[in-house]
Structure 1
Amino acid sequence: MSDNLVHALAGAGGGIISMAITYPLITISSRLQVQRSHDSEAKYKGNFDAFKKILATEGVTGLFSGIESALFGAALTNGVYYYFFEATRKVLIKFSRHGSINTFESLISGSIAGAMTAIITNPIWVINTRLTVKDPNSKLSGSTLHELMQVIKTDGILSLWQGIGPALILVLNPVIQYSLFEQLKNYISKTRKLGNLDFFLLGALSKLIATSVTYPYIVVKSRMQMRQSKTDSSLRYDSISDGFSKILSTEGVKGLYKGIESKLTQSVLTAAILFMSKEALYKNTLILLSILSSRSKLRR
């Protein structure tokens, strides 16, 4: 098994673990992101209010709406990202005079990996967004497959790539995140050996910075991935600039940062758990493959 694939599998496993643990925070932040302030009555007044109302009206399961698609999406997203990141990094190392990549080359690796990930996984996140913020009494409520069929039937197959514009711009999020993580990891590893706590803290710090910088695009992407109104242009987001313009004109700058508290908490925890578990899974996978290889040789 290639080292790139091992990284991909470890990343996928880490993504599933971190997503499952932090998913209620995603539900809360997603619902706040798509909530417009000019609604007749704001459904959620804040993060804690959203948490209480979801529990009161939908129960604990409401906090996990669409988790099936999210777990699949997390596994695929992290698997694809790590595969392309490691593959690109190794190509760049071959042409490097120092046997390692610098910050700029790390950004190139992250950009290529992020772009491929966004294009491949966007349909999953469109479905997940709609399931996460769905009306529990709506006829459209259902499984991931049911929602997928409804989206294609109602809006056409191209609607699965709604929000791909901001999604591609949000490639900057993991680029900033992974580049910071790699550079900090390389810097600290020169002085001492890193442990699980180091990976946890470095993952948290790098994600905190990346999400703070790119959050407005996350809000615009979430709204573009929702079912768009065909009759009311004020409720439709036709492009990134249109989304920014309408949010700023009706909700102000704070509209671009709705749900940021729960999103930052979720993002930081997810990144920290992901990096820590990914490193552990990568090492254990290599050990397992080594054991299986040794047994295979003994049988011959």
Structure 2
Amino acid sequence: MAAMKTNGTTRKTNVFSHIRYEHMVAGFSGGVTSTLILHPLDLIKIRFAVNDGRTTTIPQYRGLASAFITIFRQEGLSGLYKGVTPNVCGSGSAWGFYFLFYNSIKTWIQKGNTTTPLGPTMHMMAAAEAGVLTLVMTNPIWVVKTRLCLQYGRESDGSPQTRYKGMIDALTKIYRHEGIRGLYRGFIPGMFGVSHGAIQFMTYEEMKNKFNQYRNVPIDTKMGTMEYLAFAAISKLIAAAVTYPYQVVRARMQDHHHTYAGTWDCVKQTWRYESWRGFYKGFGVNILRVIPATVITFITYENVSHYLLKKS
């Protein structure tokens, strides 16, 4: 809460007054839709990312097609959807919270006037703050999703505490055997990942603003599907290329088949044994997944949010 004095009168401004739950509903809808469609690619990306070439319990795939066929043959259709429940919960809640926090912070900075342009720096700051808040709330879900995606057809260690029956069982066992630290594995590289969202949202917002200014209409004017599609894809591609290495480090930190002394140890080992290529393992699969996922999420969000806000 902050108080501002204007002409002898005190006007109170509160960030909570700018919260619109329509953004959360729209973000949740977009995240769930894209996740249900593209989860198999996410699972394969994670398996590629954690494959350091030295851990014998990890299956080896020759490429994307090989991974699809091998997983389907050995684990069935359900194998391609391992970890889908926490992924749906994680993506839905993450996008919902992110859009809620981002738009609340942005509107607060704009003092309630959504037609006020903020510029790249303020867009990036709002996106970064929203990213930190979202990560704090969703990191345990991402740990569970990673663990479930990395349960292969036959676990060599057979340890009951690392075999999970589902999302709730995984949350319970991780907390029981590893404590809060276990649920927040990968949190530090995840914090670096906040820059991913900041770059993406800054690029996306600036392109939208410039396009609407070119059309001589207010910057919050609804655009066509093709414009949203193009801006979402371009912004995601730029952010993914710049920040992908943190995703590899985070996945390896969360994988129970690997043991690292900490984030820096993971970075050093990856560089020592795999050079820079190790930090981009699974990048191709990731691009095939995140570009359509982002397009689906953003188009769903923009249309649902405009519909809900118009009705409210």
TM-score by length of 1: 0.88
What aligned pairs does 1:187-198 form with structure 2 within 5 A after superposition?
187-192=210-215, 194-198=223-227
* Structure 1 counterpart of 2:5: none
- Once the two structures are overlaid, the 10-residue window that deviates more, 68-77 or 187-196, is 187-196
Given candidates 250, 253, 256, the residue that maps to 1:221 is 250
User: Does the aligned pair in 2 maintain the 1:135–1:141 contact within 8 Å?
Assistant: no
- Once the two structures are overlaid, the 10-residue window that deviates more, 137-146 or 63-72, is 137-146
What letter is aligned with 1:272?
V
Number of corresponding residues: 282
Q: How many angstroms apart in 2 are the aligned matches of 1:77 and 1:99?
A: 26
Q: How many angstroms apart in 1 are the aligned matches of 2:224 and 2:240?
A: 24
| Deviation of 1:284 (Å) | 2.2
Given candidates 183, 197, 207, the residue that maps to 1:174 is 197
Cα RMSD for the two superposed structures: 2.0
Given candidates 157, 175, 180, the residue that maps to 1:157 is 180
Q: How many angstroms apart in 2 are the aligned matches of 1:116 and 1:286?
A: 24
**Residue 141 (structure 1) aligned with residue 164 (structure 2):** yes
- 1:235-270 deviation line (CA, Å, top 9, x unaligned): 422332211110111122211111111111111111
* Structure 2 counterpart of 1:25: 41
The structure richer in helix per residue is: 1
* Structure 2 counterpart of 1:99: 116
| Deviation of 1:2 (Å) | 6.7
* Structure 1 counterpart of 2:23: 7
Q: How many angstroms apart in 2 are the aligned matches of 1:146 and 1:226?
A: 17
User: Does the aligned pair in 2 maintain the 1:32–1:46 contact within 8 Å?
Assistant: no
- Once the two structures are overlaid, the 10-residue window that deviates more, 253-262 or 188-197, is 188-197
- 1:96-119 deviation line (CA, Å, top 9, x unaligned): 9x9331111001100100011111
Q: How many angstroms apart in 2 are the aligned matches of 1:153 and 1:95?
A: 45
User: Does the aligned pair in 2 maintain the 1:4–1:82 contact within 8 Å?
Assistant: no
Q: How many angstroms apart in 2 are the aligned matches of 1:249 and 1:282?
A: 47
* Structure 2 counterpart of 1:245: 268
Q: How many angstroms apart in 2 are the aligned matches of 1:31 and 1:205?
A: 26
User: Does the aligned pair in 2 maintain the 1:10–1:278 contact within 8 Å?
Assistant: yes
What letter is aligned with 2:298?
F
What letter is aligned with 2:169?
H
Q: How many angstroms apart in 2 are the aligned matches of 1:117 and 1:42?
A: 32
| Deviation of 1:81 (Å) | 0.7
User: Does the aligned pair in 2 maintain the 1:47–1:259 contact within 8 Å?
Assistant: no
User: Does the aligned pair in 2 maintain the 1:188–1:194 contact within 8 Å?
Assistant: no
TM-score by length of 2: 0.85
Q: How many angstroms apart in 1 are the aligned matches of 2:36 and 2:281?
A: 23
**Residue 203 (structure 1) aligned with residue 232 (structure 2):** yes
* Structure 2 counterpart of 1:294: none
What letter is aligned with 1:59?
G
Q: How many angstroms apart in 1 are the aligned matches of 2:212 and 2:250?
A: 37
Q: How many angstroms apart in 1 are the aligned matches of 2:76 and 2:137?
A: 33
- Give ranges in structure 2 of 5+ residues lacking alignment: 1-16, 216-221
User: Does the aligned pair in 2 maintain the 1:220–1:243 contact within 8 Å?
Assistant: yes
- Give ranges in structure 1 of 5+ residues lacking alignment: 229-234, 291-300
What letter is aligned with 1:85?
Y
**Residue 279 (structure 1) aligned with residue 302 (structure 2):** yes
| Deviation of 1:3 (Å) | 5.7
Q: How many angstroms apart in 1 are the aligned matches of 2:230 and 2:116?
A: 27
* Structure 2 counterpart of 1:39: 55
Q: How many angstroms apart in 2 are the aligned matches of 1:27 and 1:170?
A: 19
Identical counterparts, % of pairs: 29
| Deviation of 1:36 (Å) | 1.8
User: Aligned to 1:59, what secondary structure does the other structure show?
Assistant: helix
| Deviation of 1:157 (Å) | 2.5
User: Does the aligned pair in 2 maintain the 1:127–1:147 contact within 8 Å?
Assistant: yes
Q: How many angstroms apart in 2 are the aligned matches of 1:94 and 1:153?
A: 45
